[in-house]
């Protein structure tokens, strides 16, 4: 008679064999006293393990350990809550915070620039000559001074400005019947 291996009996004790092998072992056990005893020993060991396995290890101060674990779990949960509260806020409001900070920085820098004692806006003197037509005449200005070409008539003067910087003043002299045209060019 061929006896099953120990491993097969060990598995059969917990019904862990495939169906066909389970049937084969069961059939063998009906005829073999020695294997039945072996099988019963495996079952006994299994029962003992199941009943003792759920008990606390010996020499353990469970109350103290349980209190410590409860407290640590509580701390862990609270720490986790803090992290989860902070994280979404950071993700959702990140760009808003950045925009607000950028605006604030701009305001502070602008305020500092305008109110800083050494910082003043100055009117900039023209570096090139400028020509201006007034009721008195045509005035040319530059950094060193100005020159006015006065109109020679009290009559209304016709003024025109060209895009190349020239100003023309035309007027009619009633006494002489002549038309005078003054052209002033600026380069």
Decide: 3 and 34 in contact? Cβ < 8 Å: yes
Decide: is 120 part of the binding site for other proteins (CB under 8 A): no
Interacting positions 21-50 with other proteins (CB under 8 A): 41-42, 44-46, 48-50
Regarding 124 and contact with other proteins (CB under 8 A), the answer is no
Say if CB 168 and CB 162 are below 8 A apart: yes
Residue 172 as a binder of other proteins (CB under 8 A): the answer is no
Q: Are 27 and 36 in contact (CB under 8 A)?
A: no
| Contact (CB, 8 A) for 141 and 129 | yes
Look-up of token digits 């380069």 = 187
Q: How far is the CB of 92 from other proteins (least distance, A)?
A: 20
- Would you count residue 156 as binding other proteins (CB under 8 A)? no
Say which residues have a Cβ less than 8 Å from residue 182's Cβ, sequence separation at least 6.
138, 149, 151, 168, 169, 170
Furthest C-alpha separation in the chain: 157
Build a one-symbol-per-residue string for 93-112: x at contacts with other proteins by CB under 8 A, - elsewhere.
Answer: --------------------
Q: Which H or E run contains 165?
A: none
Q: Pick from 4, 13, 151, 169: which binds other proteins (CB under 8 A)?
A: 13
Shortest distance, position 39 Cβ to other proteins, whole Å: 11
Residue 87 interacts with other proteins (CB under 8 A)?
no
β-strands 158-161, 130-133: how paired? Answer: unpaired
Tell me which residue of 151, 144, 141, 143 sits closest to 186, measured CA to CA. 141
# residues contacting other proteins (CB under 8 A): 37
CA neighbor of 167 nearest in space, from 143, 141, 140:
140
State which of residues 1, 2, 7, 154 lies at the interface with other proteins (CB under 8 A). 7
Binding mask 46-65 for other proteins (x = CB under 8 A): x-xxx-xxxxxxxxx-x--x
- 19 makes contact with other proteins (CB under 8 A): no
Interface with other proteins includes 82 (CB under 8 A)? no
Binding residues for other proteins, rule: CB under 8 A, are 6-8, 10-11, 13-14, 16-17, 41-42, 44-46, 48-50, 52-60, 62, 65-66, 68-70, 72-73, 76-77, 80
């Amino acid at each position: 008679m061929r006896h099953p291996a120990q491993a097969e009996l060990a598995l059969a004790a917990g019904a862990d064999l495939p169906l066909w092998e389970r049937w084969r072992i069961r059939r063998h056990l009906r005829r073999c006293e020695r294997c039945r005893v072996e099988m019963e020993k495996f079952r006994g060991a299994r029962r003992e393990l199941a009943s003792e396995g759920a008990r606390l290890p010996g020499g353990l101060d469970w109350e103290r350990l349980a209190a410590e674990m409860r407290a640590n779990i509580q701390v862990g949960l609270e720490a986790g809550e803090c992290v989860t509260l902070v994280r979404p806020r950071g993700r959702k409001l990140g760009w808003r915070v950045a925009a607000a900070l950028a605006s604030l920085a701009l305001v502070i820098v602008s305020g500092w620039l305008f109110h800083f004692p050494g910082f003043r806006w100055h009117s900039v003197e023209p570096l090139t000559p400028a020509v201006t037509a007034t009721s008195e005449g045509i005035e040319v200005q530059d950094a060193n001074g100005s020159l006015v070409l006065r109109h020679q008539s009290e009559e209304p003067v016709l003024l025109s400005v060209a895009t190349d910087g020239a100003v023309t003043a035309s007027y009619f002299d009633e006494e002489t019947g002549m038309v005078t045209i003054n052209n002033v060019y600026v380069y």
